[in-house]
């Protein structure tokens, strides 16, 4: 039977309560620190101040990143990997934090969104990518190369992933498409492994983990987001992997 554990609370404090080296794969989509007077977004075709919520307002973003990644390292198994998504506003800090904390950086996956939302402004390029840092505790980490190749029609999978942005299932402003998490979880773990998402948001990681027979721990600080995630995960039906379970570690 799968073990699904959903936690409402601050990720750093809740991570401290988890058992050391108990998690096989971590996917994290941390705050990008975009909310505030100087950042704009588009709503109903008009520019408005970007305000995702208090969770996205952090005084010292690099110190915050160091603290939560440090706790993730503690709970990650020796062969495990951590995957961290971000944009140009946060990913330089993430890369620096991974190096400072002594992790082995495996890849920077570039998620390309061919249908990215157009810009109203005419003074910059349309943001169409996100970076996903992939790192392990050492050079000995789990990576299902053969499955990645099978998913890519028999060819080596490159670090440029073209995945269309999907219509959100929930009102969460940073919801990730399930297809993105399917690649990460299937390639980076085996059935019955434990997946952790310290910024659970709308619950996409938990949905995919449960669907493909993985245990899941999700932490979320926002009560409303937590309830959305809980409902989605509870409704998810477990089914066999689409691509088998070929084991390959590096």
* Cβ contacts of 192 within 8 Å, gap of 6 or more: 213, 214, 215
β-strands 215-220, 160-162: how paired?
A: unpaired
CB half-sphere exposure, 52, CA atoms < 13 A: 19
CA terminus-to-terminus distance, the chain: 29
Q: What sections of the chain are H helices per DSSP? A: 11-15, 61-75, 91-100, 145-151, 178-188, 204-211, 223-235
Q: What is the pLDDT of residue 50?
A: 47
Alpha carbons 222 and 91: distance in angstroms, whole number: 23
Contacts with 236 (C-beta within 8 Å, 6 or more apart), sequence order: 206, 207, 210, 211
Verdict on whether the full-model pTM lies above 0.75: yes
Distance CA 203, CA 216 (A): 10
Per CATH, domain 4-115+129-235 is 3.20.20.450: no
pLDDT tens string for the chain (250 positions)? 899 999 999 999 999 999 999 999 999 999 976 545 555 555 555 555 545 555 445 778 899 999 999 999 999 999 999 999 998 888 899 999 999 999 999 999 999 999 988 887 788 899 999 999 999 999 999 999 999 999 999 999 999 999 998 777 877 778 899 999 999 999 999 999 999 999 999 999 999 999 999 999 999 999 999 999 999 999 999 987 554 444 444 4
For the chain, the structural domain boundaries read 4-115+129-235
Q: How many CB atoms lie within 10 A of CB 97?
A: 23
Residue of 97, 86, 9 lying closest to 55 (CA atoms): 9
Residue 83 C-alpha from the chain's centroid: 6
Residue 89 in 3-state DSSP?
coil
The residue whose two tokens read 């969460």 is 172
Q: What is the pLDDT of residue 87?
A: 87
């Amino acid at each position: 039977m799968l073990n699904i554990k959903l936690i409402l609370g601050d990720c750093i404090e809740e991570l401290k309560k988890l058992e050391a080296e108990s998690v096989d794969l971590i996917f994290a989509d941390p705050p990008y620190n975009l909310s505030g007077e100087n950042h704009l977004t588009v709503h109903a075709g008009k520019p408005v101040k970007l305000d995702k919520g208090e969770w996205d307002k952090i005084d010292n973003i690099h110190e915050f990143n160091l603290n939560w990644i440090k706790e993730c390292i503690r709970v990650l198994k020796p062969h495990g990997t951590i995957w961290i998504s971000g944009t140009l506003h946060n990913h330089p800090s993430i890369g620096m934090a991974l190096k400072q904390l002594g992790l082995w950086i495996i890849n920077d996956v570039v998620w390309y969104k061919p249908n990215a939302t157009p810009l109203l402004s005419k003074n910059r390029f349309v943001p169409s990518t996100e970076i996903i840092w992939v790192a392990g505790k050492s050079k000995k980490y789990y990576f299902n190369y053969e499955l990645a190749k099978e998913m890519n029609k028999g060819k080596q999978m490159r670090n440029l992933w073209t995945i269309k942005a999907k219509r959100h299932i929930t009102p969460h402003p940073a919801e990730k498409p399930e297809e993105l998490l399917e690649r990460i979880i299937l390639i980076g773990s085996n059935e019955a492994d434990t997946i952790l998402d310290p910024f659970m948001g709308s619950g996409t990681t938990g949905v995919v983990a449960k669907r493909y027979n993985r245990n899941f721990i999700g932490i979320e600080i926002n009560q409303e987001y937590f309830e959305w995630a809980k409902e989605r995960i509870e409704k998810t039906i477990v089914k066999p992997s689409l691509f088998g379970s070929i084991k390959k570690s590096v």
